Structure 1
């Protein structure tokens, strides 16, 4: 009989946030798939848990994913953990879940701390609708395309960022979005936890010197609805694009221009055009 993969959340800083259910799960499974076995060993030692581990990370996920699934299909139970937070969110564990789906392996989630939700909760920005954008690419073209696609996003946007990339990210956020509210959430649940509620302009001018240290989540205000003087429908956006095409514009250019006018996403308009 096939076993189960337990997707198990771990603390993002404070070990006191590790739930009794998560501890019981790690104690009960046959083995643990860990992003970094050295980091997970510290967690296990703190809670007196002894369990065999296999490493599972970005550069070995295909090979190890097959091995892990084979073991589960043979009846073993496995818990997948990341170094901090919920595995499979902006994390190679996503691939393991897909592999389990393909092979009919049961998955069970053991909820735990999430830096995304925690940062949003204390950001002071709108929480009803939001979008998680993960890490921005270091590739200049991909990074620009990503940010450009979000210019008309009305939902609150959440980004992960490494400290050494913060200066450029602050400058890019101000360049692409203008002056908007920005919450810089650092060292969540740790001793030096801090929420800096500021703006993109202030951050670009005062925090782009590399002085901020730690692990960061950036929460950015979405485009205000009132920035559009009219309420537009998708039908109007598509019709606007068609008129631009009639005047000689290429479909992709027309969709982009209609998006800038109406606030709808370029891909959404382009799809309706086709």
Structure 2
């Protein structure tokens, strides 16, 4: 009789554990969809400004190169400020970050281009984080007014958003979306800054170096570096995601309290 009751308790605990695992995955998928929906809305907003600028021709890559050529004849400090400013307003205008960084390396040289690009990237990332933290909760509340789902979205971005911040330079508009999402989901600044720095500073170092050794007659170093960097970022991001999923999958599943003897 005792063995039968123990077996029944064990089966009950096992099924309870399976049910908890199933519910956790279902709710996780639901909350992930909410987060993806928010990312799509932000991508649409950034994409609208990008297509508007390209359609109207207000600011083209030729205009940027001409402006950098002009200010480089005055003083390098103006090139520094223009590069940082362009990368800052990239948050709203979707300026080609890699092209500006390559041009910074060409006009400023590697030693000055790195701090100029890092300054612009940090200003853009910090502003995106602040905007997300200031106004993102209102947008989140419109998508899902349920406070439990909002809390779950915050937990999911805290778990997976760090990887996104590290590899965000692999795609246009992804850095802006990632920073705004980090602010909207209340990711602590102590976690946001290191992840964003890890993704941005090496990017600035590599791209500006490629620009510094390139020229109009020989653009191949910049082109090769851009292709290699994109592959490395995507490969590293995929590896990090696989590692996190593998580690979470191998965690023991809670199956309820131990049956009393």
Q: TM-score range by the shorter chain?
A: under 0.3
After TM superposition, the score normalised by the length of structure 2 is 0.21
Q: Could you say which structure has the higher helix fraction? A: 2
> Is the strand fraction higher in 1 or 2?
1
Normalised to the residue count of structure 1, the TM-score between the two structures is: 0.21
Name the structure, 1 or 2, with higher relative contact order (CA <8 Å, separation 6+): 2
Which has more radius of gyration? 2
